[in-house]
Amino acid sequence: MIPMWPALQMEPLAEDALLLRFGEAMELSINARVHAAAARLQERLAGIECVPAYASLLLRFDLAQWSDGDPLSSHRRLHEAVLAALQDGPETVHGTREVDIPVLYGGVAGPDLDDVAAHTGLSVAQVIARHSAARYRVAMLGFAPGFPYLLGLDPALAVPRRGDPRLSVPAGSVAIGGIQTGIYPQALPGGWQLIGRTPRVLFDLAAASPSLLRPGDGVRFRAIDPDEYQRLAAAESRR
């Protein structure tokens, strides 16, 4: 193990995959190390793909590039290369993008907002203020293409998932599930508490970069009114 990365563990996951574990908890500090490692490894190692999660990092690699003919050598060689690449690297990454996400809170756009307020003991205005005051990090993408799992939610806003998941949640819905917040990129089934909706398109397969958000991005929510929502939605549709 390396002193700078004391919690790092590595294990083979498949013939062409290695899993790096940085801890067990859904914590911003652990997730920051995941993204710092991903940035450094992609900068220093060729023939790999990094897929970050909350506390782990999946490395997919090119067998032809990392194997010398011995089926076990690829994992050993990559293991050693990872240790060397991270030896003098920082445990945090700086200069990440920050993406503005306008949100129409409550009403039809956020049908569970009143329930969230009742559960937390806060007013609707306080829920909106707290939710839009935080800076979030895209811990990982998952569940569906472009779905961001965001860490940084005010602990006072943590609420359980719905007991009766919806068969279809509208695209752009901003939701809370436990200690996380997220955005549904398409119309999907889901059980998170819906508090608002953004007019921004989270995933467009025809775009050069299909996913609006990338792992490690910073996210800020901004409350908007119905008129601004309509203006922004119209602008998105013209892109």
- Residue range 119-142, pLDDT digits in tens: 999 999 999 999 999 999 999 999
Compute the distance between CA of residue 196 and CA of residue 211 in angstroms, rounded to an integer: 20
218 plus 126 within the same structural domain: yes
Determine, yes or no, domain membership for 213: yes
Supply 26's token pair: 């859904």
pLDDT at position 2 is 40
| Closest C-alpha among 205, 192, 97 to residue 146 | 205
146 located within any domain: yes
Q: What is the DSSP track for 167-233?
A: EEE-TTEEEEEBTEEEE-SSSEEE-SEEEEE--S-SB-TTSSS-BSS-TT-EEEEEE--HHHHHHHH
Number of folded domains that form the chain: 2
In a shared domain, residues 175 and 103: yes
β-pair partners for 22? none
Taking only Cα atoms into account, the Rg of the chain, rounded to an integer number of angstroms, comes to 20
How do the residues of the chain divide into helix, strand and coil, expressed in percent and rounded to 5?
A: 30, 30, 40
pLDDT at 90: 61
CATH number for the domain spanning 139: value is 2.40.100.10
Q: What is the CATH number of the domain that holds 72?
A: 3.30.1360.40
Same domain, 42 and 127: no
Give the structural domain span for 113: 98-237
Residue 180, both tokens: 């996380």
Structure tokens at 203: 């995933």
pLDDT in the model for residue 3: 43
Shared domain check, 222 and 131: yes
Q: Around Cβ 107, how many Cβ atoms within 10 Å?
A: 12
pTM, two decimal places: 0.87
pLDDT, position 95: 54
- CB burial string 136-169: b at 16+ within 10 A, e below: bbbbbbeeeebbbbbbbbbeebbbeebeeebeeb
Low-confidence ranges of the chain (pLDDT < 50): 1-3
- Of 167, 131, 136, residue with least CA distance to 149: 136
Q: Are residues 182 and 118 in the same domain?
A: yes
Residue for token pair 């990092």: 57
3-state class (DSSP) for residue 76: helix
